[in-house]
């Protein structure tokens, strides 16, 4: 009994965003407090419905722009964020209202400005007033909190912190980021245009949640051709001995990869 294609359900198609940044040695993600009816008041990943003539990637970029003001150069090493498709979630019943198929996207933004004020400012400064009138509540939540709450949910079967199936989406987005900085130069997307080896190392440490040996890390990244190009300048914004500044090089794939400590 083959499925009959002429009977088609009314599908809604949405995009959800896992926006990741490293701030104060923590991997953080952007969450918004829901003002709408299902899961009202819970935190959720930013997202929205796809327009009738809108490309999926364009919808994701538009949502990002609305929520953070950031532009994306898709797969481009420009001044903007990195955006890529993550996975699609379409369980019937994941949204109690109607059948919603949501295409999740992963966004990596530069977040090394350590001042908390200017950091949240990148969100505050550009959120357009939503239909509800007031500014939506937006937060850079440490991923650890959200995910450990998730595993705690498994133990005590308490409801998760995030609405819908957004825990799972976040977990898979974080997994993807953790895996991808291993074999690509994507970690530089978390850094400002110019950065030091130490700053890049702190990105890896925050994303992986491990400590890396500064000497071996330095040898590895400076020894991989095309990964980093020195700009000539130095900075001492971290204290200690001034460090060389680098830009991201042309290489996107790291071969051999950056090894993540196992344990």
Partner DNA sequence: CCTGTTTATCGTCAGTGCGACGACTAGGAT
Partner DNA sequence: ATCCTAGTCGTCGCACTGACGATAAACAGG
Q: Which residues bind its own copies (CB under 8 A)?
A: 1-5, 7-13, 48-56, 59, 62, 66, 85, 87-92, 99, 101, 103, 128, 130-131, 255, 262
Pairing of strands 138-142, 43-44: unpaired
Span near DNA by CB under 7 A; candidates 31-39, 68-76, 169-177, 218-226:
218-226
Distance, CA of 170 to CA of 157 (rounded, Å):
19
Task: Give the SS3 label for residue 232.
Answer: strand
| Cβ closest to its own copies, residue 48 vs residue 142 | 48
Residue 220 partner contact from DNA, its own copies, none using kind-dependent CB cut-offs of 5 to 8 Å: DNA
Residue with tokens 């937060």: 139
Closest distance of CB 120 from DNA, Å: 23
Residue 99 partner contact from its own copies, DNA, none using kind-dependent CB cut-offs of 5 to 8 Å: its own copies
* x-marked contacts with DNA along 157-196 as a string, rule CB under 7 A: ---------------------------------------x
Span near DNA by CB under 7 A; candidates 11-19, 145-153, 165-173, 235-243:
235-243
| Cβ closest to DNA, residue 12 vs residue 259 | 259
Cβ atoms of 127 and 67 closer than 8 Å: yes
Cβ atoms of 205 and 212 closer than 8 Å: yes
Question: What residues are paired with 141 via a beta bridge?
Answer: 29
Q: Which of 214, 226, 233, 250 binds DNA (CB under 7 A)?
A: 214
Q: Give the C-alpha distances (Å, rounded to integers) separating 253 from 111, 192, 194.
A: 22, 20, 20
Residue 220 in contact with DNA, rule: CB under 7 A: yes
Residue 116 in contact with DNA, rule: CB under 7 A: no
191: closest CA among 114, 85, 256? 114
The full DSSP string for 69-129 is ---B-TT--SSSBEEEEEEEE--TTSSSSS-EEEEEEEEE-------HHHHHHHHHTTPPP
Closest distance of CB 19 from its own copies, Å: 17
What does the binding site for DNA look like in residue numbers (CB under 7 A)?
A: 196-199, 201, 213-216, 218-220, 222-223, 234, 236, 238-244, 256, 259, 261
């Amino acid at each position: 009994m083959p499925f009959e294609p002429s009977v088609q359900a009314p599908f809604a198609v949405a995009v959800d965003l896992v926006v990741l940044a490293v701030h104060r040695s923590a991997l953080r993600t952007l969450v918004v407090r829901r003002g709408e009816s299902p899961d009202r008041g819970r935190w959720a990943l930013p997202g929205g419905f796809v327009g009738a003539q809108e490309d999926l990637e364009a919808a994701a970029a538009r949502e990002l722009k609305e929520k953070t003001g950031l532009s994306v150069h898709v797969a481009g090493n420009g001044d903007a964020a990195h955006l890529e498709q993550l996975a699609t979630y379409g369980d019937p019943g994941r949204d109690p209202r109607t059948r919603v198929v949501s295409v999740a996207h992963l966004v990596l933004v530069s977040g090394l400005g350590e001042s908390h004020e200017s950091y949240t400012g990148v969100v505050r400064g550009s959120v357009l007033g939503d239909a509800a009138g007031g500014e939506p509540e937006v937060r850079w939540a440490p991923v650890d909190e959200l995910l450990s709450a998730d595993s705690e949910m498994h133990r005590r079967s308490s409801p998760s912190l995030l609405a819908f199936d957004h825990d799972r989406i976040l977990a898979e987005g974080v997994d993807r980021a953790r895996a991808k900085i291993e074999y690509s130069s994507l970690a530089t997307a978390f850094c400002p245009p110019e950065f030091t080896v130490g700053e890049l190392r702190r990105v890896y440490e925050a994303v992986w949640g491990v400590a890396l040996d500064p000497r071996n890390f330095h040898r590895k990244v400076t020894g991989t051709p095309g990964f980093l190009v020195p700009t000539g300048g130095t900075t001492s914004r971290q204290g200690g001995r001034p460090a060389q500044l680098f830009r991201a090089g042309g290489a996107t794939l790291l071969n051999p990869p950056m090894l993540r400590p196992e344990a």
